[in-house]
A and B are shown apart, each in its own frame.
Chain A
Amino acid sequence: AQKVTQAQTEISVVEKEDVTLDCVYETRDTTYYLFWYKQPPSGELVFLIRRNSFDEQNEISGRYSWNFQKSTSSFNFTITASQVVDSAVYFCALSEVTNAGKSTFGDGTTLTVKP
Chain B
Amino acid sequence: DTEVTQTPKHLVMGMTNKKSLKCEQHMGHRAMYWYKQKAKKPPELMFVYSYEKLSINESVPSRFSPECPNSSLLNLHLHALQPEDSALYLCASRKAGREWRENEQFFGPGTRLTVL
- Is B109 a contact of A99 with CB atoms below 8 Å? no
Residues of B within 8 A of A95 (CB): 103, 105
How many Å lie between the Cα of A36 and that of B42 in the bound state? 13
Interface size class of B (residues with CB under 8 A): 20 to 34
Residues of A within 8 A of B48 (CB): 100-102
Interface size class of A (residues with CB under 8 A): 20 to 34
Stretch at the interface among A18-26, A62-70, A78-86, A103-111: A103-111
- Is B41 a contact of A107 with CB atoms below 8 Å? yes
Select from chain B the residue with minimum beta-carbon distance to A54: B100
Q: Would you call B110 an interface residue if the criterion is a C-beta within 8 Å of the partner chain's C-beta atoms?
A: yes
Residues of A within 8 A of B112 (CB): 43
Binding site for A on B (CB under 8 A): 31, 40-43, 45, 48, 50, 55-56, 88, 90, 92, 94, 96, 100-101, 103-110, 112
